[in-house]
Amino acid sequence: MNKIVRKIEKQHNLSLEELVLLIGNDCYDKDLFEAADRVRQKYVGDGVHLRGLIEFSNVCSRSCFYCGLRCENRNVNRYSLGADEIISLAGRAKELGYKTVVLQSGESSVYSVDKMVYILREIKKFDLAITLSIGEKSYEEYKQFKNAGADRFLLRIETTDTAIYKALHPDMDFSNRVKCLRNLKKLGYEVGTGCLIGLPSQTPLSLARDLLFFREIGADMIGLGPFIPNPDTPLSLERGGTFEMARKVMALVRLLMPDINIPATTAMETLSPDGRILALQSGANVVMPNVTDFVHKKYYNLYPGKSGADVPAAFAKRALEEKIEKIGRFVSEDFGFRKKNI
């Protein structure tokens, strides 16, 4: 095995230059995937945590250049589920055996703080862990959601390359996004962040800096996905990211941050048949199956061909469990909080 791969497996640390080398050359890939799988086994074990994803509104006031939900996109049927519909989907997730629900939406003010607090309090009665993924909010709002029962928060930084960030998010401020992540940490959330792989102009250096940022911010979860060009966006003609590059950056995350939670993302499954299983064998230990109802999930069009959009939730869960068991892993019975182990 290569010396640098051995070093990162043992020390969980590399310089920026070493990371750039690993990212920029595919000759290390196989060794990295295997090393990440060993480190995953050693630090977080064979359990796979399933989180039921509820995409409760696709209304968005942002203009992110890569995302199909951007407010300028008129080819989307916009929906916002009522509080009782969201609560009932969470109840259904509980019945299916989930221990966590992830409430995700576009970034908007459709739901007042009071309404979100009501939804969180009601869902908490099911004894579920709750992850929110609803974008940038004020410290005070994050605090109210935490007090109402939210346990975790997902807010991808998307890229730490500030030139790319600015070009793709014209109405947003990179430093505010970082501030949001720090506020979430301060409030005691388990914090998930992550980035897109294969954005236009992104280099191995940008990705290496993303990796060091994840560690610096103290992330508890990292979700990575290949960028998949959406025809209804300004980036429709771009090439997009590859499954292998996303898999490699994910393996590096596991090697640098051995005890965190890492999802095998839907975007990875979309680009490669059995992409999630390969991801689970290259560092990942979480899967977030979609439990949104049939009518609505087809309108949550972040990118084309989103995997799982046409499969009923109960069926998809069973099929996934079988695949997990087939590779010698098991579905975890606990809430799947990060157990600090380093």
Chain residues in the site for ligand 5AD (CB under 6 A): 66-67, 156, 158, 196, 225, 227-228, 230, 267, 302-303
| Separation of alpha carbons 21 and 10, rounded Å | 18
* Least Cβ distance, residue 196 to ligand 5AD (angstroms): 5
Q: Which residues contact 304 (CB under 8 A, 6 or more apart)?
A: 68, 228, 230, 231
The smaller minimum CB distance to ligand 5AD, of residues 5 and 245, is found at 245
* Least Cβ distance, residue 227 to ligand 5AD (angstroms): 5
Sign of CA dihedral 295, 105, 263, 338: negative
The smaller minimum CB distance to ligand 5AD, of residues 249 and 302, is found at 302
The smaller minimum CB distance to ligand 5AD, of residues 229 and 258, is found at 229
* Least Cβ distance, residue 246 to ligand 5AD (angstroms): 10
* Least Cβ distance, residue 158 to ligand 5AD (angstroms): 5
The smaller minimum CB distance to ligand 5AD, of residues 100 and 332, is found at 100
* Least Cβ distance, residue 292 to ligand 5AD (angstroms): 13
Which two tokens mark 88? 């009932």
Burial of 299-328, coded b for 16+ CB within 10 Å and e otherwise, reads: bbbbbeebbbbebebeebbeebbebbeeee
* Least Cβ distance, residue 245 to ligand 5AD (angstroms): 13
* Least Cβ distance, residue 98 to ligand 5AD (angstroms): 19
